[in-house]
Amino acid sequence: MHHYVHLYFEVLSRFSAMLSEVDHLSITATGALLRSDADRYLDSAAACLVLLRLFNAAVTLDVSQDWERQVAHGLDDATEEMVADLMSSLRSLCLKGEPVASVARVVVLRRLSGRPVTISN
């Protein structure tokens, strides 16, 4: 998946001006692409954060049940600065199927940075 996410990033980054105006983002991915061994899983979690950086203006992010674990894992491993800066306009994050507790650190860091976010599943 790591390889595919970087390909998507390269293609989407060419449209960065349009992507910076996206208010509501929904990510749905299915299939074997997301079923990987532990090493590739860690790569994909970090890679998905790189991809999400393109959508800095998004106010809501809705993540499908097939991708929620990578997003939650990436957010949980992110530095304090990255959590505050990543998708700085984000106010609502829905991780379908992932326990809200899995991103509790993100909620606290966003609140402390003055950019609170509501998490749901």
In the predicted model, what is the mean pLDDT of residues 96-105? Answer: 85
Separation of alpha carbons 121 and 86, rounded Å: 20
Q: What is the dihedral angle through the alpha carbons of 33, 75, 39, 13, rounded to the nearest 10 degrees?
A: 50
| Cβ–Cβ under 8 Å, residues 72 and 101 | no
> Which residues, 6 or more positions from 89, have their beta carbon under 8 angstroms from its beta carbon?
56, 57, 58, 59
Note the pLDDT tens digit of each residue in 79-91. Answer: 888 888 888 899 9
Taking every pair of Cα atoms in the chain, the longest distance, rounded to a whole number of angstroms, is 38
Return mean pLDDT, the chain: 78
pLDDT score for 60? 94
